[in-house]
DNA sequence: TATTTTTGCGCAATCGATTGCATATTACAA
DNA sequence: TTGTAATATGCAATCGATTGCGCAAAAATA
């Protein structure tokens, strides 16, 4: 049933001109007369011509496709970034190929290769947690293929990246808790070698320092930062008998876990213990009390990353100075931390 | 800096054979000797050969790309479906191009065209709310291009679709509330002409009927089903003074709104009023109490849709009988409705 | 040993659009 | 009127891989 594909040759035949002319007419080449252009456009419409991007891509060496690799697609943050990227790309008539690494280095490498074989014009990546060597990305750059990292980035590759200021976010959240009158603020963090968590941790410490509150290492708990980890950490924290009046969790999920345990112990939030998370996960406005958190503006991050990407793509000069764009996070204050409200 | 691209011709030259042989060797054609295959593979590796899918796609007429159109990428349900599709596609060495219609018919048409020009091998679509004519999809089918609809579908196009049994979900949720001892169950729904809401409503009514509970139209509230709508409906419901002991909301968001208002009125959930939503939005497990809801298994839906898609794609025969796959939803019972527990 | 079959590979066209380099026509200046 | 420039279009190669057809050499069969 597949109707014969109509090509520029069919148009050419119909108008008794050559395919070259048709191609130029369709691409609005100035060396084609207005009359011919009109005729071509008209014929194209009447024949229901659909250009074959593959052929053009092959010939031109650019596919109008860009690849994006994230750890998992169905997480609010990442899907929002993808949304942002798609918006920008779509306007510029580029298509976005998505793929997920599942935090697995080998997948990352395989996907990167697959994208290269599909001849994407470039790639946007949020690096998996366990990725520790970056040769596959470096070789991308050597081949001159645009690469932009976002959120989960590294400085080991000389390429543009877009991140949020995790330090500032950590600082703001902590400062906010301090201003609410908290002085013994616990902190939940991930293994601190992961950059973003380290930065949030730094922000936490510096805020304490600024307000001359002694830093107490025994109030800092490391975990994998999922809901259950948050629960565990909170239980441990409570069992030590150590006094504290707030928890700043570097993840919303761990904060949610903390909230559960605190409530199970009939500890009032925020009166007894104030709570702040990080990421502005969609669920945070639905907890009771709603969770104070830090927004990372994922859609905007996607847009900025895409813009940064196209800047590289369109720059004629071979040497591009890698840009590091740092977005400002925003503290979202909700009831979980609002003592004087 | 772009290193010269190495092609099969380079491999051919190196081994003093022809490109045809190289191509066949790489594709594991049985008519090529093992010796030659090994040599080609070896040479390909040493030259760091990367196949150009564009060229192959052009020649073969299939791109190994599939397109997917959703209203918005960054919604839990849709991003999860995409995740499922990507998983299946990736295993079969297909790439997934995502795009979002923003519930706009014109975007839908434009995106569809863009995908066609990119020569995707087929398309998966969740139709926008406002789309009322389907010619653009019908013409896809006429061209013999595989199309699978999921979640937001229509019977007006003779093509495969994957949906969940909304009727059953509505029935199960209502039945559950009844079994908890509720007899005056309010229902929040959307304009009932939207299929999925109508089905849930039907399920609600039939469950009542099965248990010989009189249906009371004045307990049914129509709205746009966002959080605020849920709040409004609940307020109205309360202000009527009408007795009710449960709310089955066809949307989790409206249910969350209801929960807020009930709590503001110091009405105990579930003791005074039991609550159930629909969709199993990620936030529902974080509310207090956690919300009983109906899971739609979006990842599985994506997988099934993809499988259905590849079935069409791989079927040799021209005529494919459109399959309508109806997935079973699952009632997720949580504290918001558990009276005896 | 003669004949048929199988195996392994080369030749060359092809997919559809782009583009550098002619060439023909028209316009314009001298 | 003639030479020159500008304009509009054609020719043919090209992008990189695939594939139907053909053919020689090797293997199997008669």
For residue B223, give the H/E element and its range: none
A68 and A116 share a domain?
Answer: yes
φ, ψ of residue A276 to 5 degrees: the values are: -140, 140
Cβ contact, residue pair B97, A99, below 8 Å? no
Three-state DSSP class for residue A148: strand
Q: Which residues of B23-40 are buried (b: 16+ CB within 10 A; e: fewer)?
A: bbbbeeeeebeeeebebb
Model confidence pLDDT, tens digit, residues B26-44:
999 999 999 999 999 999 9
Residues 51-90 of chain A sitting with CB below 7 angstroms of strand C:
51-52, 55-56, 58-60
Do the beta carbons of residue A163 and residue A325 sit within 8 Å?
yes
Q: What would the mean pLDDT of B277-296 be, rounded to a whole number?
A: 97
The per-residue pLDDT for A317 is 57
Three-state DSSP class for residue B327: strand
Bond from prior residue into A281 cis (ω within 30 degrees of 0)? no
| Alpha-carbon distance A206 to nearest alpha carbon in chain B (angstroms) | 31
Which positions in strand D are less than 7 Å from the protein's CB atoms? 7-12, 14-20
The per-residue pLDDT for B29 is 95
The per-residue pLDDT for B340 is 73
B172 and B292 share a domain?
Answer: yes
| B318: chain A residues, CB-CB within 8 Å | 1
Chain mean position to CA B222: 24
DSSP-derived secondary structure for B94-107: -EEEEEE-TT-HHH
Model confidence pLDDT, tens digit, residues A102-111:
999 999 999 9
The pLDDT confidence band at residue B316, using thresholds 50, 70 and 90, is low
Do the beta carbons of residue B52 and residue B107 sit within 8 Å?
no
The per-residue pLDDT for B3 is 54
**Alpha-carbon separation of residue B41 from A157, B6, B27, B29, B175 (angstroms):** 30, 14, 10, 13, 62
A contact test, residue of B61, B84, B118 with most A CBs within 10 A: B118
Partners of B247 in beta bridges: B186, B275
By C-alpha to C1' distance, D6 is nearest to: A31
Which residues have CB under 8 Å from B67's CB, separation 6+?
B96, B97, B98, B99, B111, B112, B115, B118, B120, B122, B123, B124
Reported in sequence order, the residue ranges of B8-114 that DSSP labels E, i.e. its strands, are 65-70, 95-100
Is B313 among the domain residues?
yes
A163, HSE (Cβ side, Cα atoms, 13 Å): 23
φ, ψ of residue B200 to 5 degrees: the values are: -65, -40
Do the bridges between strand B65-70 and strand B123-125 make them parallel or antiparallel, or are there none, so unpaired?
Answer: parallel
More confident residue, A315 or B228: B228
B281 and B308 share a domain?
Answer: no
The pLDDT confidence band at residue B315, using thresholds 50, 70 and 90, is confident
| C1’ C29 / CA A34, Å | 26
B285 and B302 share a domain?
Answer: no
B173 and B159 share a domain?
Answer: no
Helix and strand tally (H, E) in chain B? 12, 12
Give percent of chain B above pLDDT 70.
97
Joined tokens for residue B299 = 């990842």
The per-residue pLDDT for A1 is 36
Is B185 among the domain residues?
yes
| C1’ D10 / CA A214, Å | 82
A307 and A267 share a domain?
Answer: no
| C1’ C30 / CA A31, Å | 27
| C1’ D30 / CA B125, Å | 63
Is A1 among the domain residues?
no
Flag whether pLDDT at B199 surpasses 80.
yes
| Alpha-carbon distance A216 to nearest alpha carbon in chain B (angstroms) | 30
The per-residue pLDDT for A316 is 63
**Alpha-carbon separation of residue A228 from A251, A290, A336, B282 (angstroms):** 12, 19, 19, 16
Range of the domain at A253: 166-296+331-337
Q: Which of B64, B144, B283 sits opposite A283 (nearest CB)?
A: B283
DSSP-derived secondary structure for B143-207: TT--EEEESS--SSS-SEEEEE-HHHHHHHHHHHHHHTT--SEEEEE--TTSHHHHHHHHHHHHH
Joined tokens for residue A189 = 């963090």
A contact test, residue of B6, B53, B63 with most A CBs within 10 A: B53
A51 has a chain B CB within 8 A of its CB: yes
For residue A19, give the H/E element and its range: helix A19-26
Flag whether pLDDT at A320 surpasses 80.
no
Residue B55 Cβ under 7 A from any strand D atom: yes
Q: Could you tell me the CATH number of the domain that includes residue B266?
A: 3.40.50.2300
Enumerate residues 68 to 127 of chain A having a beta carbon within 8 A of any beta carbon in chain B: 72-76, 78-80, 82-83, 86-87, 90, 93, 95-100, 111, 113-119
Q: What would the mean pLDDT of A139-163 be, rounded to a whole number?
A: 94
In whole numbers, what is the pLDDT of chain A averaged over residues? 95
The per-residue pLDDT for A192 is 67
In whole numbers, what is the pLDDT of chain B averaged over residues? 95
B326 has a chain A CB within 8 A of its CB: no
Task: Specify the pTM.
Answer: 0.95
Which stretch of A221-225, A319-323, B104-108 has the lowest confidence by average pLDDT?
Answer: A319-323
Flag whether pLDDT at A138 surpasses 90.
yes
Q: What would the mean pLDDT of B284-308 be, rounded to a whole number?
A: 97
Residue A47 Cβ under 7 A from any strand C atom: no
Residue A118 Cβ under 7 A from any strand D atom: no
Joined tokens for residue B87 = 């998983």
Joined tokens for residue B245 = 């002991």
The per-residue pLDDT for A129 is 85
By C-alpha to C1' distance, D14 is nearest to: A59
A224 and A268 share a domain?
Answer: yes
Work out the burial of residue A196: count CB atoms within 10 Å of its CB; fewer than 13 is exposed, 13-18 middle, 19 or more buried.
Answer: buried
φ, ψ of residue B299 to 5 degrees: the values are: -60, -45
The per-residue pLDDT for A3 is 54
Enumerate residues 149 to 168 of chain A having a beta carbon within 8 A of any beta carbon in chain B: none
Model confidence pLDDT, tens digit, residues B157-195:
999 999 999 999 999 999 999 999 999 999 999 976 678
Q: Which of B98, B144, B286 sits opposite A96 (nearest CB)?
A: B98
Report the candidate in B297, B326, B278, B292 with the shortest Cα–Cα distance to residue B179: B292
Residue A17 Cβ under 7 A from any strand C atom: no
Which residues have CB under 8 Å from B289's CB, separation 6+?
B269, B270, B334, B335, B336
Flag whether pLDDT at A2 surpasses 60.
no
DSSP-derived secondary structure for A185-211: EEEEE--TTSHHHHHHHHHHHHHHHHT
Flag whether pLDDT at A341 surpasses 90.
no
Which positions in strand C are less than 7 Å from the protein's CB atoms? 7-12, 14-20
Is A124 among the domain residues?
yes
For residue B12, give the H/E element and its range: helix B8-15
Cβ contact, residue pair B76, A74, below 8 Å? yes
Q: Which of A80, A97, A287 sits opposite B95 (nearest CB)?
A: A97
Model confidence pLDDT, tens digit, residues A34-93:
999 999 999 999 999 999 999 999 999 999 999 999 999 999 999 999 999 999 999 999
The pLDDT confidence band at residue A318, using thresholds 50, 70 and 90, is low
Is A191 among the domain residues?
yes
Do the beta carbons of residue A283 and residue A256 sit within 8 Å?
yes
Dihedral angle sign, alpha carbons of residues A220, A225, A230, A233 = negative
Is B56 among the domain residues?
no
| Alpha-carbon distance B107 to nearest alpha carbon in chain A (angstroms) | 11
Q: Could you tell me the CATH number of the domain that includes residue A15?
A: 1.10.260.40
A318 has a chain B CB within 8 A of its CB: yes
**Alpha-carbon separation of residue A219 from A201, A247, B26 (angstroms):** 12, 9, 59
Cβ contact, residue pair B97, A95, below 8 Å? yes
A171 and A22 share a domain?
Answer: no
Residue B7 Cβ under 7 A from any strand D atom: yes
Report the candidate in A162, A186, A340 with the shortest Cα–Cα distance to residue A277: A186
Residue B41 Cβ under 7 A from any strand C atom: no
By C-alpha to C1' distance, C12 is nearest to: B20
Cβ contact, residue pair B52, A263, below 8 Å? no
| C1’ C6 / CA B158, Å | 48
The per-residue pLDDT for B248 is 98
Do the beta carbons of residue B163 and residue B151 sit within 8 Å?
yes
B72 and B123 share a domain?
Answer: yes
Joined tokens for residue A259 = 């909230």
By C-alpha to C1' distance, D9 is nearest to: A21
B130 and B142 share a domain?
Answer: yes
Residue A5 Cβ under 7 A from any strand C atom: yes
B223 and B320 share a domain?
Answer: no
Do the beta carbons of residue B152 and residue B129 sit within 8 Å?
yes
Flag whether pLDDT at B10 surpasses 60.
yes
Do the beta carbons of residue B279 and residue B251 sit within 8 Å?
yes
Three-state DSSP class for residue A76: helix
For residue A100, give the H/E element and its range: strand A95-100
Q: What would the mean pLDDT of B298-311 be, rounded to a whole number?
A: 98
Angle at alpha carbon of residue B273, lines to B269 and B275, rounded to 5°: 75
The per-residue pLDDT for A195 is 82
- The domain tally of chain A equals 3
Give percent of chain B above pLDDT 90.
93
Q: What would the mean pLDDT of A171-195 be, rounded to a whole number?
A: 93
- Contacts for A265-274 with beta carbons within 8 Å, 24 or more apart? A265/A238, A269/A336, A270/A180, A270/A246, A270/A335, A270/A336, A270/A337, A270/A338, A270/A339, A271/A339, A272/A245, A273/A244, A273/A245, A273/A246, A273/A247, A274/A177, A274/A180, A274/A182, A274/A245, A274/A246, A274/A247, A274/A336, A274/A337, A274/A339
A91 and A160 share a domain?
Answer: yes
């Amino acid at each position: 049933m597949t109707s014969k594909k109509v090509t520029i040759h069919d148009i050419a035949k119909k108008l008794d001109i050559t395919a070259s002319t048709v191609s130029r007419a369709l691409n609005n080449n100035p060396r084609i007369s207005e009359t011919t252009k009109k005729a071509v456009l008209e014929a194209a419409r009447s024949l229901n011509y659909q250009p074959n991007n593959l052929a053009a891509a092959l010939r031109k060496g650019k596919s109008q496709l860009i690849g994006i690799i994230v750890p998992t697609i169905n997480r609010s943050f990442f899907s929002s970034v993808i949304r942002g990227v798609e918006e920008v790309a779509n306007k510029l008539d580029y298509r976005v190929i998505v793929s997920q690494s599942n935090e697995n280095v080998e997948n990352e490498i395989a996907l990167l290769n697959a994208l290269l074989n599909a001849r994407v014009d470039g790639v946007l990546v949020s690096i998996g947690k366990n990725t520790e060597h970056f040769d596959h990305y470096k070789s991308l750059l050597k081949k001159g293929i645009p690469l932009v990292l976002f959120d989960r980035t590294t400085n080991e590759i000389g390429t543009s990246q877009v991140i949020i200021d995790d330090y500032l976010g950590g600082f703001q959240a902590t400062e906010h808790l301090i201003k609410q009158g908290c002085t013994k603020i616990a902190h939940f963090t991930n293994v601190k070698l992961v950059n973003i968590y380290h930065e949030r941790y730094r922000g936490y410490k510096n805020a304490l320092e600024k307000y001359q509150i002694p830093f107490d290492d025994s109030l800092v708990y490391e975990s994998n930062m999922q809901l259950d980890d948050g629960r565990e950490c909170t239980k441990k924290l409570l069992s030590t008998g150590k006094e504290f009046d707030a928890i700043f969790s570097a993840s919303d999920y761990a904060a949610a876990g903390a909230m559960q345990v605190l409530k199970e112990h009939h500890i009032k939030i925020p009166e007894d213990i104030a709570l702040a998370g990080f990421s502005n996960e969609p669920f945070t406005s639905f907890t009771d009390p709603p969770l104070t958190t830090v927004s990372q503006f994922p859609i905007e991050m996607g847009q900025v990353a895409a813009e940064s990407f196209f800047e590289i793509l369109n720059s004629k000069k071979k040497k591009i100075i890698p840009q590091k764009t740092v977005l400002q996070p925003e503290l979202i204050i909700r009831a979980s931390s609002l003592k004087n409200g």
